[in-house]
Structure 1
Amino acid sequence: MLRFAAIGLDHRHVYDMTAGLIAAGAACVGHDPETTDPRVLNGFRKRFPQVPAVDRERLLDDPSIDFIVLCAGPCDRAGVAIEAMRRGKDVMVDKPGVTTAEQLAAVEAAVRQTGRIWSICLGRLTSPSVQAALRVVRSGELGRLVHLTSLAPHRLNRALRPAWFFERDAYGGIINDIGVHAIDQFLAFADAPDASIAAATIGCFGTAADIAPSGFEDFAEFSLRAAGVSGNMLGTMRLDWFTPDGLPDWGDGRLFLVGTEGTLELRKNLDIEGRAGGNHMFVANQQRTRYCDCSDLPVTYYRDFLDDVRDRSGGMMENGRVFTVCRLALRCQATAVRFTP
C-alpha cells in the first residue's frame, strides 16, 4: 500500500484530496500541523482522527512515505514541493502549484533532476461531468468543436479566508489561482498542446476598500486560441468572487461547447430551479436533445495518480501538460489589463 503525508494544511481542498487518495487505496500516515488557518487544521483532524501529527522535516525524511499532498499557502507550494522531490517523494499539489515564473522554472528543473511526479489537482480531473463532456466531444457527436465558454463564479466567504488569500504576491492573482482550472479544461477540449492569449482583463469591482489595495482581484475575463487536432478553437473564460449568499453552493459553474454538429452545456454545481445535486449535462445534436446526470460517474484521478506513483507510467497527466497550463496562467495573469470600475 502506498503511503503519503499531508503537508501545508492551509486550504480546505486538503480534505477532498486526502479523502480521495484514501478511498483509492493509499494510507495517510501523517500530517504537518503547521498552518496559517487553525480552522483548516481542526477540520482535518476531525475528518481524519487516525492520522498523527508529525513534524514536517520528519515527514520529508521518512523513506517509507511515497508522496505528499501539499496545500500550503500558494506562494510556498513550489519550495515545499521541490524539497520533497529532492528527498525522493512525488507530489500532489493543490492549485495554484506556483505563483511566479521563477517558481515554475525551479519546479521544472527539480522534476527533470529527480524524475519525481509533480501533479496539480485540477478541476477537470475530479469532475464527473467534465469527464463525461470530454467523452461526448471525442465521440464526434458535436462535430468539430468551435468554441468553449467557461463560467466559474465563486463565493468569497471573506470571514473564513486567511490573510494571504487577499495578498496578490501570496496567491498569484485570480487567473493564476482559479483560472488555471479553466485553462487546463480548454486545452483538454481543444486537444491542443498549447494556446495563445487573445485578451485578458482583471479587476476589483465589489471587494471592500480595505483589502483592495493589497492586490486582490475579484473578477477576470480572458480569451484563448488553440490549434487542436481537428482545427482551430476559441475559448472565453470568466472568473469571479460574486456568488451570492442565497445560492445553495459555492458557485454556479457552467461550461458551454459549440460544435459544427451540436452543442453541450454543463451545470457543474447545481441546477438553480430544477434537478437536485450537481454534474448536470445537456446535449443537443442534429437529431434530438438529451440530459445526463453525471453525478454517479466514477472519478479516476486519485486512482490514476497512485498507478503513476506505483509503476511510473505517466498515464494520468504528463508533467509537460501541467507545466504548459501553469505557464499560460502566469502569462495571462501578467499581461491582463487591469480594469478600474
Structure 2
Amino acid sequence: MLRFAVVGIDHGHTFDHVKGLLAAGGEFVGYCPKTSVPALLDNFKKTYPDTPQIDREALFADPSINVICIAAIPRDRAGLAIRAMKAGKDVMTDKPGVTTFAQLEEVKKTVAETGRIFSICFSERHCVRSAVKAGKLVKEGAVGRVIQTIGMGPHKLQLPTRPDWFFDPEAFGGIIVDIASHQVDQFLFYTGSTTGEVVASSIGNFGMPEKPKFEDFGEVLLRSDRGSGYVRVDWFTPEGLGTWGDGRLTILGTEGYIELRKYIDISGRPGKDHLFLVNGTENRHIDCSDEKLDYFDAFTADVRDRSETAMTQAHVYEVCRLSLEAQTKAVRLGGR
C-alpha cells in the first residue's frame, strides 16, 4: 500500500492530492501543519481530524512513507521536493513545481541521482473529469488529428483570502508560471507533442496599481511540430459568476472540435464538467461528472512499478521549461 504525507499546506490543491491518493487506496500517514494560510489549515484539520500532525523532518525521516505531497508557497516547492527525493520519497507537487530555471535544473539532477519520481499534479487536467474524457475522445480519433488548443484560465481574486506572498512574483513565479502551466500541460498532452517553443508571451497589471509587481493578465502563443496553442490566464472573473473561474479549453482537430466548460455552463446546465463534441456525425453535450480520474491510480502504480504511466518525467520537465521561458520572455502590458 502507498503511504503518503503532506508537507506544505499553502494552497487548496492539497485537498485534491489527498482525496485522489485515498481513492487510489493510499494511506494518509500525517501532515506538517506549517502554513501561510491559517484558514486552509483549519479546513484541513476539520476534513482529516484523525490524521496526526507531524514535524516535517520526522516525515522525511520515516522510511515507511513512500510519497510526499507538496502544496507549499510556490518558490519553496522545489526545495521541499528535492529534500523529499534525497530522503528516498517520490513526490507529488502542486503546480508550479518550480519557479526558476535553477530550481528546474536542480530537480532534474536530483531525479537522475535518486531515481525518484517528481510528478506535478496539473489539476486542471488530472482532477477535471471533462478533461479526462476529452483525452479519451482524442485518443479514439473523435476529432481527427489535433492541430490547436485554446486554453483559458480565468480566476476570481477573492482578495480577503490571499496571503502576502500571493502578490509577490518571486514567491509565486509570475502568472504564466503559476497558472498557465496548466494550459501548457494541456497543449502538449492533447496535441501529442513531446516538445514545443514559445512564439510570444505577454503579462500585465491592469487592475491593481496598488500592487505594482502583481500580474493579473498573461497570454502565451505556443508551437510544436504537431500544432499550435494559445493560452490566456487572468484574475478578472467577476464576482457574479457562480464559481471561482470559467475554465475553458477548445481542442481543434482536422475532423471536429471539443470544447470544455470545466467548472460551469453559463447557459444554465447545472454542475460542472461539461463537454461539447462536434464532428462529421454528431453535435452533442456530454455530462462527464461520472468520469473516473485516473491520474492517481496511475501515479500509485508508477510508485509501485517504477514506471511512467501517469505522466512521463520528460513531459513534466518540458511543461516547466516552456512556462519559465514564456514568463521570462513576456512583454509587459498595461503601463504598470
Letter in 2 for 1:104: L
8 Å Cα contact 2:175-2:216 kept in structure 1 = yes
1:168 Cα offset (Å): 0.7
Letter in 2 for 1:270: I
2:67 alignment partner in structure 1: 67
1:139 Cα offset (Å): 2.0
1:22 Cα offset (Å): 1.2
1:310 Cα offset (Å): 1.4
TM-score of the two chains, using structure 2 as the length reference: 0.97
The 10-residue stretch of structure 1 (304-313 or 170-179) with the greater mean CA deviation from structure 2: 304-313
8 Å Cα contact 2:142-2:279 kept in structure 1 = yes
For residues 325 and 287 of structure 1, the distance between their equivalents in structure 2, rounded to whole angstroms, comes to 34
1:15 Cα offset (Å): 1.4
The 10-residue stretch of structure 1 (259-268 or 181-190) with the greater mean CA deviation from structure 2: 259-268
Identity of aligned residues (%): 49
Which SS does the other structure have where 2:220 is aligned?
A: strand
8 Å Cα contact 2:250-2:259 kept in structure 1 = yes
1:128 Cα offset (Å): 1.4
8 Å Cα contact 1:201-1:339 kept in structure 2 = yes
For residues 336 and 62 of structure 1, the distance between their equivalents in structure 2, rounded to whole angstroms, comes to 42
The 10-residue stretch of structure 1 (25-34 or 142-151) with the greater mean CA deviation from structure 2: 142-151
1:268 alignment partner in structure 2: 262
For residues 63 and 39 of structure 1, the distance between their equivalents in structure 2, rounded to whole angstroms, comes to 31
For residues 147 and 315 of structure 2, the distance between their equivalents in structure 1, rounded to whole angstroms, comes to 22
1:153 alignment partner in structure 2: 154
1:178 alignment partner in structure 2: 179
For residues 182 and 281 of structure 1, the distance between their equivalents in structure 2, rounded to whole angstroms, comes to 17
For residues 325 and 270 of structure 1, the distance between their equivalents in structure 2, rounded to whole angstroms, comes to 26
8 Å Cα contact 1:201-1:222 kept in structure 2 = yes
Which SS does the other structure have where 1:178 is aligned?
A: helix
TM-score of the two chains, using structure 1 as the length reference: 0.96
Letter in 2 for 1:222: V
Letter in 1 for 2:70: L
1:56 alignment partner in structure 2: 56
2:201 alignment partner in structure 1: 200
Letter in 1 for 2:197: S
8 Å Cα contact 2:199-2:222 kept in structure 1 = yes
Give 5+ residue unaligned stretches, structure 2. Answer: none
1:141 alignment partner in structure 2: 142
Which SS does the other structure have where 2:225 is aligned?
A: strand
Corresponding position: 1:333 with 2:317: no
1:293 alignment partner in structure 2: 287
For residues 192 and 16 of structure 2, the distance between their equivalents in structure 1, rounded to whole angstroms, comes to 28
1:89 alignment partner in structure 2: 89
For residues 257 and 316 of structure 1, the distance between their equivalents in structure 2, rounded to whole angstroms, comes to 21
2:234 alignment partner in structure 1: 240
Q: What is the RMSD of the two structures over their aligned residues, measured on CA atoms?
A: 1.1
The 10-residue stretch of structure 1 (18-27 or 76-85) with the greater mean CA deviation from structure 2: 18-27
1:140 Cα offset (Å): 2.1
1:67 Cα offset (Å): 1.0
For residues 136 and 258 of structure 1, the distance between their equivalents in structure 2, rounded to whole angstroms, comes to 12
1:14 Cα offset (Å): 0.9
8 Å Cα contact 1:190-1:227 kept in structure 2 = no
Letter in 2 for 1:183: V
For residues 23 and 135 of structure 1, the distance between their equivalents in structure 2, rounded to whole angstroms, comes to 21
1:2 Cα offset (Å): 1.6
Letter in 2 for 1:315: T
The 10-residue stretch of structure 1 (96-105 or 6-15) with the greater mean CA deviation from structure 2: 6-15
1:10 Cα offset (Å): 1.0
2:222 alignment partner in structure 1: 224
The 10-residue stretch of structure 1 (303-312 or 177-186) with the greater mean CA deviation from structure 2: 303-312
8 Å Cα contact 1:187-1:195 kept in structure 2 = yes
